[in-house]
Amino acid sequence: MIEVFLSLKVALRALRVNKLRSSLTMLGIIIGIASVIVMIAIGSGANQLVAEQIASIGSNLILIIPGTTTSGGLRAGAGSVPTLTYDDVRAIGNECPAVALVAPTVRGTAQVVYGNMNWSTLLGAVASISLIVGGIGIMNIMLVSVTERTREIGIRMAIGAKQRDILLQFLTEAVTITIVGGIAGMVIGVGVAAAVSRLFSWPTLISSEAIAVAFLFSAGVGVFFGFYPARRAAGLDPIEALRYE
């Protein structure tokens, strides 16, 4: 536990020393996590709205909604293709004595599509690409950091630091960058979701599960993309590292 605390302290110091570089490195993580938060918030809000509408209908009402289509990679859902006629309405009223009243309705559905992608595909693509680009950026920056601090690594090894200590230090730095970027992304994502709800009168719902998913995503990106630089730092030869200029 003490080793983890010391590694975290060194990681935070490294972030403060290279503020601009750290901020640019976090940018991809921030955009990716914010996109994940917005996507989950909009989807959860829509589900909650549908559930509330269904609950307000009552328990003695039956809806018959036939027909469905698929367009642009998105299933439009029941009711997108009308297959019932007014004759069917009269037949239900005449042949079903348990039914007190029958009323036909006309409904329609639509989706926002750009090219061959709908809104959820767009947000998902932005989140995925941003996280991958951010992860690659973290890997590159950590490799640069390993090169810049080769002599420091050699000194630590010379005074007794083991490979796992060096591995833990650099892995903690990578995870710290992604977690800080993830927290910033969460804040921005919540703000964007609130703006969407206010500007477009669309319900959004930020759940604790969404925050947990975003946090785990950011930490996972740090571990995955930070492991190779950390492993490389831990594998340096102490003598060669001390000779490095």
Q: For position 184, what pLDDT does the model report? A: 92
Q: What distance in Å separates the CA atoms of residue 137 and residue 21, rounded to the nearest whole number?
A: 10
Residue 71: beta bridge partners? Answer: 74
Show me where the domains of the chain are located: 2-51+116-243, 66-106
d(CA 183, CA 214): 9
pLDDT in tens, 156-189: 898 988 888 889 888 988 888 888 898 999 999 9
Mean pLDDT of the chain: 82
Which of these ranges, 55-64, 112-121, 124-133, has the smallest mean pLDDT? 112-121
Is residue 69's pLDDT more than 70? no
Q: Say which range, 105-114, 147-156, 220-229, has the weakest mean pLDDT.
A: 105-114
- Kindly provide the residue ranges of all beta strands, DSSP E only, lying in the chain, ordered along the sequence: 70-71, 74-75, 113-114, 117-118
Gap between the Cα atoms of 70 and 57, Å rounded: 27
Amino acid at 173: E
Phi, psi of 114 (to 5 degrees): -120, 115
Residue 73 in this model has a pLDDT that exceeds 60: no
How large is the average pLDDT for residues 75-90?
A: 71
